[in-house]
Structure 1
Amino acid sequence: MEAKNLILYADDDGDDRDMLESIFSSHSGYRFRTFPDGQALLDYIDGGEKNQICLIVLDINMPRLGGIETLRQLRQDIQLVDLPVIVFTTSSSPGDRISAESLGASVFTKPNSLAEIAEVGQKMLALCTGE
Structure 2
Amino acid sequence: MALMTSHAFNAQSAYGNMGQATGSGRDIEVRVFQTAIAKLTPYAGPEFKLTGDAAEVLSENLRLWDLLTVDLAHPDNETAPQLASQLLTLARFVRYHTHTLYTGSGTVDILLEINTAILQGLLGRPGQVADAQSAA
TM-score range, shorter chain: 0.3 to 0.5
User: Larger Rg: 1 or 2?
Assistant: 2
* Structure with the largest fraction of helix: 2
TM-score (norm: length of structure 2): 0.31
Greater RCO structure (CA 8 Å; 6+ sep)? 2
TM-score (norm: length of structure 1): 0.32
